[in-house]
C-alpha cells in the first residue's frame, strides 16, 4: 500500500492518529491520574500476610516479583539467561495495572540500591587517599561501590531486542509519579544515566523522512508532531515535498523505525515571519537549488521516557551540515518558533514592567485602557484580542516590548524562562526577530498572543553565544534589543 492509499484509507475510516507528545497540560494531567504510592515501605509489605486498601499486589505476589527481579542478576546465571528472565518480567509488567506497575518500581527502588556500608567505606578510603599514590586505586573502589544492583538489573533488561523499548516506556510511566513519591528518584536517575550513554549521538543515525518513507513511519510524524498539528494527508505530503521541504530524524539501532526527535525544514529565500505561508499547500515553492535560507519550523521529541537526554543540538548541527552539502547556496539557518510561556509570564509580571514606561507611553496606554496610570489588569484585558490591534497601536508596541523582555532578559536560575528559547539559546542561537501575528491559530493566541520568534543559527558564533548565556547574557539582535524597556 502506498502512503497516499494508506492516508486516504485512514481518512475515510475517520480514525484519529494524532497523539501529540507532552501537549500543554499533559504533565499536570498525568500527575493527577498517576497511581498513588502505598503508605507502607515494601520491606514491611513483604513481611505481611494481607494487603492494605492502598496496595495493589498482595504480599505473596510482591514476594514473587522480588524473587523474579533478584533472579535476573543472580551471579550464577549468564547475561543471556539474565536477559531472558528480564524479558519475562517485562511481559508481566506490560500486563499489569498502573497500580501494580508502581509496586514493580517500588521493589526496584528499595531493594536494589548500592550497599550503604560498602559505599561509606569506599568513600572514606578515597577521601583518605586523596593526594597519595593510592588515590587512583581508591577511586576505582569507590566507582565500583557506586554501581548499584539496580543498575545491573536495568542493563539486563536491555539484553533482549525489545528491552530498550521496554525501559523507555517504563520511564515514561514513572515520570509523572516522581513528585508524589521521592523513593523513585534514584530509579529515575539511573535510567536517565543509562539512556544518556545508550542514546549518545555517536550511536544515532540521521535519516531523511520523505513521502517515499514507509507509511508506518509517516504515521509516527502525525502522532508525534507537537508544534503545528498535521491536519490531513495533503498537509503531511506538503511538509515532505522534495522541492522545498526537508524532514530529518535521529534513529537508534534498537528502535529502528521510531524517530527519537525530528525536525521539519522549509527552504525559502528569506527568514520567514509567519507559519501560515509555510504550511500553505497551494503556495508556489522556491526551487531547492535556488533557496538561500533554511527555516526550522517544527522540532518534536517523540519519547517522553527520554526526557533529559539531549540530542536536539546535535540534530540541528547534523541537519545543517547535510543541507550545506546538498545545497551550497544555503547561507542562513534560522527557526520560526513559538513562544509557549509568554502569556503566562506576562500575566504574572505585567505589573513589574509598568514602572519602566516613559511618561509619554504611560499616558498613551492609560488613555487607551481608561486608567491613568494604566494598571496591569486593564492592559492585559486590552491586549487579549491582540490580533485586531493596529500596527501603530501603543498596545501592540507594549506587547512587543514585553515579549522582547521575556526572551532577552527573563532568566530562571541563569537560563531562559521560555522552554523553546532555552533550547535554541542553549544551542548557541540568538534571538533575531519578533513576528507579530506569526501564528494566528487559537493555540498561538493562547500561548503568546500570536507572536512568534526567529532564532538565528550563526554557525561562526554559536560558541560565543553559549559563553554569553553561561554568564547570564542572552544573545539578541539589535532590532530586539531596541525593544527593551528602559532599566528600572
Q: Which residues are the active-site residues?
A: 337, 424
> C-alpha grid cell for residue 330?
544555503
Cα separations in angstroms, 126 against 116, 140, 149, 165: 15, 9, 21, 38
14: left (phi over 0), alpha (psi -120 to 50) or beta: left
Sign of the alpha-carbon dihedral angle for 381, 385, 388, 392: positive
Q: Which of 415, 283, 405, 263 is nearest to 335 (CA)?
A: 263
> C-alpha grid cell for residue 154?
536495568
Q: Residue 356: how many CB atoms within 10 A of its CB? A: 15
Between CA 402 and CA 325 the distance in angstroms is 39
Residue found by looking up cell 508502581 in the block = 102
Cα separations in angstroms, 339 against 37, 131, 133, 417, 420: 36, 50, 54, 10, 7
Q: Are 469 and 425 in contact (CB under 8 A)?
A: yes
> C-alpha grid cell for residue 338?
513559538
Sign of the alpha-carbon dihedral angle for 6, 9, 11, 17: negative
Cis peptide before 451 (omega within 30 of 0): no
Q: Are 140 and 114 in contact (CB under 8 A)?
A: no
Between CA 28 and CA 45 the distance in angstroms is 30
- H/E element holding 433? strand 430-435
- Classify 336 as helix, strand or coil: coil
Between CA 383 and CA 323 the distance in angstroms is 40
Residue found by looking up cell 527568514 in the block = 271
- H/E element holding 295? strand 293-301
Note the Cα 272 to chain centre separation in Å: 24
Q: Are 264 and 296 in contact (CB under 8 A)?
A: yes
Amino acid at each position: 500500500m502506498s502512503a497516499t492509499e494508506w492516508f486516504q484509507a485512514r481518512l475515510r475510516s475517520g480514525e484519529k492518529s494524532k497523539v501529540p507528545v507532552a501537549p500543554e497540560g499533559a504533565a499536570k494531567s498525568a500527575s493527577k491520574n498517576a497511581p498513588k504510592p502505598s503508605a507502607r515501605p515494601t520491606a514491611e509489605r513483604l513481611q505481611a500476610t494481607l494487603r492494605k486498601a492502598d496496595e495493589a499486589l498482595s504480599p505473596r505476589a510482591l514476594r514473587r516479583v522480588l524473587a523474579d527481579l533478584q533472579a535476573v542478576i543472580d551471579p550464577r546465571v549468564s547475561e543471556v539467561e539474565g536477559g531472558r528472565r528480564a524479558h519475562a518480567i517485562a511481559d508481566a509488567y506490560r500486563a499489569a495495572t498502573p497500580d501494580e506497575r508502581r509496586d514493580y518500581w517500588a521493589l526496584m527502588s528499595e531493594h536494589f540500591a548500592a550497599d550503604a556500608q560498602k559505599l561509606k567505606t569506599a568513600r572514606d578510603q578515597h577521601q583518605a587517599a586523596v593526594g597519595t599514590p593510592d588515590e587512583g586505586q581508591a577511586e576505582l573502589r569507590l566507582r565500583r561501590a557506586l554501581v548499584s544492583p539496580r543498575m545491573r538489573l536495568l542493563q539486563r533488561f536491555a539484553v533482549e531486542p525489545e528491552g530498550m523499548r521496554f525501559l523507555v516506556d517504563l520511564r515514561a510511566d514513572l515520570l509523572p509519579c516522581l513528585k508524589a513519591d521521592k523513593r523513585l528518584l534514584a530509579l529515575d536517575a539511573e535510567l536517565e544515566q543509562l539512556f544518556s550513554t545508550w542514546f549518545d549521538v555517536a550511536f544515532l543515525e540521521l535519516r531523511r523522512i520523505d513521502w517515499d518513507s514507509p507509511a508506518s513511519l509517516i504515521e509516527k510524524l502525525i502522532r508525534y508532531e507537537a508544534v503545528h498539528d498535521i491536519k490531513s494527508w495533503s498537509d503531511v505530503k506538503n511538509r515532505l515535498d522534495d522541492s522545498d521541504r526537508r524532514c530529518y530524524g535521529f534513529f537508534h539501532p534498537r528502535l529502528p523505525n521510531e524517530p527519537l526527535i525530528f525536525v521539519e525544514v522549509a527552504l525559502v529565500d528569506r527568514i520567514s515571519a509567519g507559519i501560515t505561508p509555510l504550511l500553505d499547500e497551494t503556495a508556489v515553492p522556491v526551487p531547492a537549488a535556488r533557496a538561500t535560507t533554511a527555516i526550522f519550523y517544527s522540532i518534536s521529541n517523540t519519547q517522553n521516557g527520554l526526557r533529559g537526554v539531549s540530542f536536539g543540538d546535535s540534530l540541528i548541527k547534523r541537519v545543517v551540515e547535510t543541507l550545506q552539502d546538498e545545497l551550497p547556496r544555503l547561507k542562513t539557518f534560522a527557526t520560526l518558533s513559538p513562544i509557549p510561556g509568554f502569556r503566562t509570564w506576562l500575566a504574572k509580571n505585567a505589573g513589574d514592567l509598568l514602572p519602566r514606561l516613559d511618561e509619554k507611553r504611560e499616558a498613551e496606554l492609560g488613555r487607551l485602557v481608561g486608567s491613568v496610570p494604566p494598571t496591569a489588569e486593564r492592559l492585559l484585558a486590552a491586549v487579549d484580542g491582540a490580533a485586531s490591534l493596529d500596527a501603530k497601536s501603543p498596545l501592540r508596541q507594549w506587547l512587543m516590548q514585553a515579549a522582547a523582555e521575556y526572551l532577552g532578559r527573563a532568566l530562571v536560575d541563569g537560563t531562559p524562562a521560555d522552554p523553546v528559547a532555552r533550547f535554541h539559546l542553549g544551542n548557541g542561537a540568538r534571538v533575531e526577530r519578533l513576528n507579530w501575528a506569526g501564528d494566528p491559530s487559537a493555540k498561538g493566541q493562547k500561548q503568546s498572543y500570536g507572536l512568534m520568534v526567529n532564532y538565528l543559527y550563526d554557525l561562526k558564533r554559536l560558541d560565543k553565544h553559549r559563553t554569553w548565556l553561561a554568564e547570564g547574557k542572552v544573545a539578541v539582535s539589535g532590532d530586539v534589543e531596541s525593544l527593551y524597556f528602559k532599566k528600572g
